[in-house]
């Protein structure tokens, strides 16, 4: 049903693999750590052009230039042309293209592609989540044995103390941590059972739109860190895991949010 969307994302993956002299096209979007390259723009342009040709009624909400044409649209694509741009710039081959289709405020189809490992994650609402065509499931690992992926919400410096509080509280309670640099891949790896728990104190919809459906279709749970539904029009924190470790994370998060100096720091 969404094969055209998948084919378009796979095709865009070739652009990432063909990238040369990436350093020459890097510029900052404000903060020194907030980078964009000619490839982010080129991938976004190609995705938008081809998705609109295949789905002419759809709108677009995409990261670069905060492209937003969703007014009056029943459904729209939420696009991160390269999730993991800092990795891309440094030649750390851990980045992906992420496209989610939003209908009436929920994600109904998702595609995340990591061209370096040729990993294609897909999901359609109600039909399960897949990695290269094989159905995937979250683990049932308890908190104590959980491998935790997290993001440091680097573009939102006011969230740094909250991120550190989560790490401080979780450190003695879990197996270990990883910080990979792509929230979309973090969510997909959790969905595929390669990790067990994820959190980040502030993300934008294109970081988690596709990954969130892939997690829920893999049997996992995902929400904002206060337990409320994810917002697909605004910045939002993200928590994801299996039924058990997810509820432990939400309880911890609600306790941290009560601490005086944490107020307003978890988006």
The answer to whether 222 and 231 are in contact (CB under 8 A) is no
| Closest approach of ligand IPD to the CB of residue 135, in Å | 25
Residue 78 pairs in a beta bridge with: 61, 100
Residues 190-219 that bind ligand IPD (CB under 6 A): 200, 203, 207
- Give the CA diameter of the chain: 51
SS3 of 140, please?
coil
Q: Which does 262 bind (CB under 5 to 8 A by kind): Ca ion, ligand IPD, none?
A: none
**Token pair for residue 241?**
């895991």
| Closest approach of ligand IPD to the CB of residue 85, in Å | 4
Site string for ligand IPD, 65-104 (x = CB under 6 A): ---------------x--xxxx------------------
The answer to whether 190 and 131 are in contact (CB under 8 A) is no
Q: In this structure, what is the dihedral angle of CA atoms 165, 94, 76, 39, given to the nearest 10 degrees?
A: 120
Residues 154-173 that bind ligand IPD (CB under 6 A): 154-155
Instruction: Output phi, psi for 28, to 5 deg.
Output: -100, 145
> Which one among 5, 170, 183, 256 touches ligand IPD, defined by CB under 6 A?
183
Q: Which residues bind Ca ion (CB under 5 A)?
A: 63, 80, 82-83, 85, 207
Under the rule (CB under 6 A), what is the footprint of ligand IPD?
Answer: 80, 83-86, 151-155, 181-183, 200, 203, 207
């Amino acid at each position: 049903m969404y094969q055209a969307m998948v084919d378009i994302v796979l095709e865009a993956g070739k652009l990432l693999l063909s990238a040369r002299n990436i350093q020459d096209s890097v510029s900052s979007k404000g903060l020194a750590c907030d980078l964009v390259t000619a490839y982010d723009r080129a991938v976004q342009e190609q995705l938008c052009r081809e998705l609109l040709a295949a789905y002419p009624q759809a709108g677009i909400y995409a990261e670069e230039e905060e492209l937003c044409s969703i007014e009056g649209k029943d459904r729209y694509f939420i696009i991160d042309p390269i999730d993991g741009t800092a990795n891309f710039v440094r030649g750390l081959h851990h980045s992906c293209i992420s496209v989610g289709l939003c209908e009436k405020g929920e994600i109904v189809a998702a595609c995340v592609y990591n061209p370096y490992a040729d990993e294609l994650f897909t999901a359609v609402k109600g039909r399960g989540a897949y990695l290269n065509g094989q159905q995937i499931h979250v683990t049932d690992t308890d908190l104590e044995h959980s491998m935790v992926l997290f993001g440091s919400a680097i573009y939102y410096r006011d969230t740094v103390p909250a991120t550190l509080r989560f790490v401080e509280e979780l450190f003695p309670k879990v197996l270990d941590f990883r910080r990979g640099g792509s929230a979309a891949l973090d969510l997909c790896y959790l969905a595929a059972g390669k990790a067990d728990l994820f959190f980040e104190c502030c993300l934008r919809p294109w970081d988690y739109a596709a990954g969130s459906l892939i997690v829920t279709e893999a049997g996992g749970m995902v929400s904002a860190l206060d337990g409320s539904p994810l917002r697909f029009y605004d910045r939002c924190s993200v928590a994801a895991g299996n039924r058990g470790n997810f509820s432990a994370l939400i309880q911890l998060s609600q306790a941290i949010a009560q601490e005086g100096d944490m107020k307003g720091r978890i988006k």
